[in-house]
Structure 1
Amino acid sequence: MKALEQELITLKTGIARMSQIVIEMLNNDITALVERNSDLAKQVIETDNEVDKLDVELDELCLKVLALYDPKAIDLRYIVTASRLIVDLERIGDHCVDIAKEIIKINEIPPIKPYLDLPKMAESAGIMIKEAINAYFEIDTKKALSVIKRDDYIDNLHTQILRELLTYIVEDIRKTKGAISLMFVTRSIERIADHATNLAEVVYFMATGKVIRHTRIEELGK
């Protein structure tokens, strides 16, 4: 096996591991919220150290491959895409930590509402991350586009939850603290979905050489 091929396998393995960790962090965040488990939220915060370690290792690997092997064409786009994926995955991990910190605060006060839509929102964001990484491994533009389209569902849930939380504040001012914390959690999940969209967009670029940021999704389906 050529040295470059071995390095690419190592890179793929690292990205797969990194994506698995941040998805698990997001899932644990929601479990910690629903079950009021602050110990699990603290575990999420600690797990981010592993994400940061992978961020540094994989970034260094990308630089090494570019310097030593001077990759061309699709191999070059593959490495450049990997470096972009690593950045967004690391930021997703940061958002998971922010959510965990807020959940610890939320768990110290009485719950203000049943958690129905937030788990749906987080689950969908997790699916987006997973599918975007799968699209990278499979060089699958259709799968990448499906991730981008799913972001509308996240945005709609985000708006719906914020509207509902504002209603809780208006009805009972004592619920303000909890509602604001939940707004922060909702916003962070929405940002995670945005990063998943970024993942899909750079995968689309890798496969086609076409930059699709700020492009209407309807135009890409033609």
Structure 2
Amino acid sequence: MSRITICASIPQIPVRSKFKPNIPKGYKPSLRSLCMGFTFLLLSLNCLVLNGANRYYVGKPNGKWSSTSSWSNVSGGSSGFSVPGTSDIAIFDGGGTNNCSIDMIVEVMGIVIDGAYSGTIVLSSGMTLSVLDTGFEQVGGTFDGTGGDILINGPFALTGGLFTSDGILDVGTLPSSAPPADIYMGFEDPVEPFEAPYYRPADPNGTGNGCLETTTWNQYYVRDVCI
């Protein structure tokens, strides 16, 4: 097969030490020019917002979410990278298995807790965790969300590990095939205390104050439960 190579000829442009734009005296930009410039600026900002990154937890024992020393750009890599933001995905895997304290109000694009992660993530008292469109996925480890409210705009996929919450847990979508591995909503049914909370109807006489809200719910689960 023949190869076709396309080369572009770039003209040489003389460079002056001091650049002075040749703007006619009294020039006023047209409305069209201003609109085009503003549109270009918006598109540039949009690209910056969409350019999210993966942040891997590599914190020391009992590390804090808010510290740059807890985050790397690769699994098990050097710390010192920015704390996950609204366009980033926070990943917990085997590259850093120490516990993590969510000590600030957090809004991220997604959270992934890999099966190789063996630590505990604790949502500190009074804090709120907001997870956007990518959603929340947990395969291993322990997530203790008893300190505050958890708002998940995207999917909530819990296939392993332990997830607890006794505040508001607001979920966008849930799997429609099988129930999560282990989810504790902060209440117990005194009639069937040993069954997983998501299998049975909620009993208003149960203990705790768990709250679960979701827009799509499988028939195996109860719907929109607040105790």
Larger Rg: 2
TM above 0.5, yes or no, is no
TM superposition score normalised by structure 1: 0.24
Question: Normalising to structure 2: TM-score of the pair?
Answer: 0.23
Q: Which has the higher strand share?
A: 2
Bigger share in helix: 1
